[in-house]
A and B are shown apart, each in its own frame.
Chain A
């Protein structure tokens, strides 16, 4: 049976090229960069080399603006908590974000609300895109930070980052973006795009798990999240994950080097899959089709439930993901699908497939052969589908 890994937005396979670059630091060069002897200093040099190259690749002014972390969630927590706690003393107590951020942002906002901050959650409309004018209208005297993700992790919609950055700059408000999904697929230039803080992680771009970074523009004052030793210029304690940092740099470099060719291939496969799946009656694609990550397909099929679809896909060798309630253990479907206005019963029937450069035309053909059969099988046993075809129930507005 064909095996297709279609969950690259969850995590990716470590690239052999990346692993090779990491290997010396997992084996022989095990020294602590804070030590003065040979292998410590060799490790330190490697870390600083990676920092400089990453800074260049993100369009940062200086390597000292890059801080290594344990990953996207830490970076997101640090960006919001570190900035908000610092600016609270100056009377800033307002945060602007969007309704469909990753939970690393949304749950951090909830925690900051308990600390007395007010949060504006911007609408993302039916296409899953924040409107820059909404950002501008939401900015207040006491706004500490705006945080809008670069690309959404479930529906892959790409946000107008440069426009939002320009607005924040004009209003002298800090701008953070969670670029965990966008890095390696979108061209990031923190200076041109007026990004003050940016989170990313290695494992979404064929790097290792457990290493990420926070870019903090020079001059932006941020409180520490992790206290301890003097690593990362006193801003983030803990012995550096040398191999992880080398892997992060190597993965980002590889992703940038191959970006254009990979994106055009993936866009073609993505569009073929979406067009093919839309042939299924009463199906829909979630999120804007144009401003979308090249590897993201997110669909709803009315009358069936997402987890059942997922399990059947797995039985057919396809590893996908779902925004279904059941996978998260809550009874509510994905907050992202609800944010784009889908009713619960349609949002329950969603599936996300995310690809990488190893995905082939044959893989897409196989998925196109398999999904309609599974949808039919599940609809045949669905009392909800029965109601829908009898015309007793329908979210017709959302589905065609």
Chain B
């Protein structure tokens, strides 16, 4: 490989936190596409304004799995507003950095959260766009 992952990335890749699905989730977001080699799907359980549980499933490289895992850890137990403030940079910093070619994985993790929150608002009958912004569900790199 033309790069090395930090120990934290390898830890989250080897022992990903919060893997799986949530039955009767309050919000589900899926971003990325198989053509580009990464898809992230995030499940949220929301109580009041708090994210009480979060799970993910990811198809992708080591960084894609590690950023998904770290992102779920960073928003679990947080309010929705706090979760929406989570940037890809914060995910990267929490993982002690990512190789430059993998930065897009952290962007995907940020977007997966936003997509799940959007879905939550939609289910609540609230238009998510003014709160969350526009979510690109599919990433076409071409």
Tell me the A residues contacting B by CB distance below 8 Å.
Answer: 303-308, 311, 315, 324-329, 331, 333, 343-345, 348, 381-386, 393
Contact = CB atoms under 8 A, between A and B. Distances in A.
Interface of B: 1-3, 10, 13-14, 16, 19-20, 30, 34-41, 57-65, 101-102, 141
Given A304-B59, A308-B65, A311-B10, 12 more contacts: A305-B38, A311-B62, A324-B37, A326-B63, A327-B2, A329-B3, A344-B34, A345-B34, A381-B57, A382-B57, A383-B39, A384-B34
Contacts of A331: 36-37, 141
A383 B14 CA distance: 18
A381 B2 contact: no
Q: Which 6 A-B pairs have the closest CB atoms?
A: A345-B34, A326-B61, A307-B61, A329-B101, A384-B59, A382-B59
A325 B58 contact: no
Describe A's contact surface by its main secondary structure.
helix
Contacts of A333: 37
Interface centre among A326, A343, A344 (most CB of B within 10 A): A326
17 contacts: A303-B59, A304-B59, A305-B59, A307-B61, A308-B62, A326-B37, A326-B61, A326-B63, A326-B102, A329-B101, A348-B34, A381-B16, A381-B57, A382-B57, A382-B59, A383-B58, A384-B39
Contact of B2 (A311, A328, A348): A328
Nearest to A307: B61
A382 B58 contact: yes
Contacts of A386: 57
A345 B63 CA distance: 18
A384 to B, nearest CB: 4
Nearest to B68: A381
Contacts of A306: 61
A307 B62 contact: yes
A385 B2 CA distance: 28
B35 A344 contact: yes
Contacts of A329: 2-3, 101
B12 to A, nearest CB: 12
A381 B62 CA distance: 13
A305 B61 contact: yes
A208 to B, nearest CB: 23
A308 B14 CA distance: 10
